[in-house]
Structure 1
Amino acid sequence: MAAIAGSVSRRLTVPAPAGLPRLQDQATGWEEQLRRGAQDFPDALPSRTVQAAIATVRELAHHQPDTLIHGDLNARNILVGTREPWLAVDPKGWVGDRAYDCGTLTKSRSVVLAEQGDLATGIDRTLDAFTSAAELDRERARRWAQLSAVQAAYAGRRRGFRRGRHGAKRDRLIALVDELAQALTGL
């Protein structure tokens, strides 16, 4: 699935039309949310993991290309097509760095990969397949995915997840995104 998502991402690469929201406009808010999450949940994630996410915001988020990106590229949004082998549906239509889409993909793949046993190895393979097919810098994509996982760890603690708002399911998903964030920090 990661290679398919990567090829779809590569095919979607076009200059962004005017008037779409820009990821770089979110950067200041992202850093504030990360700092607030670290303050509100001080023992949730290792400092190294949070600092890596903040560094990604500072180094990658403020200046991004004028490229149209999907914004929610995951397995549920990639369908078999007739005019193309695979089509992406339900785009968010952001302007920014294509490597950003690796974050949604890795989060959506993490549940399946964790069930298979070794999340870090599975995520490593996912990054390789996606970035190779998308023709993207692997380290850049890893950093965006790591930021996305840290954001999900704090958001899940605040409001739960689509798949689990409360209780044991929510707690399992929090543990999973925590593990994902830490695995991506170490890759």
Structure 2
Amino acid sequence: MAFEPPRRLVRALGETAPDGDDWLEKLPEAVHRAVALRELTVERVQLPGGRSSVVLLVRRADDAPAVLKLAPPRARPVSERAALAHWGGRGAVLPLEPDAADDALLLERLHPEVSVRSLPEAKALLEAAGTLRRLWVEPPEDQVFETVDGRTGRQATAMRAGADAYPELRPLVEAALTAREELLAAPPERRLLHGTFRQSKVLRGERLPWLAVGPDPVVGECAFDLARLVRDRVEDLIAAPSGASTTRRRVKRLAESLEVDQERLRGWTLFRAVESGVRARRVGRPQDAELLLEFAGWL
């Protein structure tokens, strides 16, 4: 099978890959090896695909449909496999291999062309929130997952550097860092979280109407996980005259529906929006940065 990485993946990894990273160069070989190891037949590469992994629609030896996913080590595929195994299909895509000799993930086939994002906004938020609730479980005792404290600590370091490089961002960055410190002082619970949850990460399934995919799992409080969902369709929020008030209502509605403290959700939403905005500025996506930082200013 001739294989060429999707352009979207090449572009995204080009923005973030550390010097000397050769994962993309070795990806065609890794795909062939993973396919041969599992005796799979490749139907096609999923396009446009994600920004941190390649997904192939495949058939197993018994002709059953499946998905093969490959991601670079910095995307933590081993951690993703462990989280999916712990959830066991409850609210998330089901892993089809309990163990594997490589970092590739063989997963049940969903409908990649149909995500919750295709629904009207109010319905999409309702279905996405219901899916997310099922994922919030106690982490395994021998948990191998990063913590919210650890992940956001690294992000905070990068945000401070961003504030030094772009002084106009300093007030928002300081507000976000202060919110983080206060939130970490007394977290209300410790759950296994999806880590990068949003509407496009919830796909149509067969076992259940909607199932989450693509976690970057982390252990911490539920408000951290919900925060990314608050800013879904941020471009629509920014374009609407009532965007600021709609955002505040969304925080309130999501907090109430999932029994999360509203102020903690607001705080994590602020931190995550500013972190994403500073990162977008740093890697040369000024339009994305402008949207995210304007959104953060409403909080």
**Which secondary structure does the structure 2 equivalent of 1:79 belong to?**
strand
Alignment of 1:150-161 (within 5 A): 150-160=274-284
Question: Contact 1:68 / 1:96 at 8 angstroms: preserved in 2?
Answer: yes
Please, what TM-score do these two structures have when normalized by structure 1?
0.81
Alignment partner for residue 138 of structure 2, among 15, 20, 24? 15
Alignment of 1:108-119 (within 5 A): 108-119=232-243
Alignment partner for residue 196 of structure 2, among 60, 72, 89? 72
Deviation at 1:57, TM superposition (A): 2.0
Residue deviations 1:89-141, cap 9 Å, x none?
11112111111123322333211222333321221232123222222111111
Alignment partner for residue 210 of structure 2, among 62, 75, 86? 86
Question: Contact 2:180 / 2:267 at 8 angstroms: preserved in 1?
Answer: no
Identity %: 30
User: Partners of 1:13 and 1:31 in 2: how far apart?
Assistant: 25
Question: Contact 1:16 / 1:67 at 8 angstroms: preserved in 2?
Answer: yes
User: Partners of 1:75 and 1:128 in 2: how far apart?
Assistant: 18
**Residue type of the partner of 1:58?**
E
User: Partners of 1:171 and 1:117 in 2: how far apart?
Assistant: 22
Deviation at 1:83, TM superposition (A): 3.2
Question: Contact 2:179 / 2:268 at 8 angstroms: preserved in 1?
Answer: yes
Please, what TM-score do these two structures have when normalized by structure 2?
0.53
User: Partners of 2:249 and 2:241 in 1: how far apart?
Assistant: 14
User: Partners of 1:7 and 1:147 in 2: how far apart?
Assistant: 23
Alignment partner for residue 99 of structure 1, among 223, 239, 263? 223
Match of 1:173 in 2: 288
Deviation at 1:28, TM superposition (A): 3.1
**Which secondary structure does the structure 2 equivalent of 1:131 belong to?**
helix
Deviation at 1:25, TM superposition (A): 1.5
Structure 1 residues 134 and 84: CA distance shift in structure 2, 3 A: farther
User: Partners of 2:128 and 2:203 in 1: how far apart?
Assistant: 10
Match of 1:50 in 2: 173
Superposition RMSD on alpha carbons, in Å? 2.1
Higher relative contact order (CA 8 A, sep 6+): 1
User: Partners of 1:124 and 1:80 in 2: how far apart?
Assistant: 29
Deviation at 1:71, TM superposition (A): 0.8
Match of 2:126 in 1: 3
Deviation at 1:15, TM superposition (A): 0.3
**Which secondary structure does the structure 2 equivalent of 1:31 belong to?**
helix
**Residue type of the partner of 1:118?**
S
User: Partners of 1:76 and 1:143 in 2: how far apart?
Assistant: 23
Residue deviations 1:118-172, cap 9 Å, x none?
3212212321232222221111111111001111121111103xxxxxxxxx333
Which one has a larger percent strand, Structure 1 or Structure 2? Answer: 2
Question: Contact 1:6 / 1:129 at 8 angstroms: preserved in 2?
Answer: no
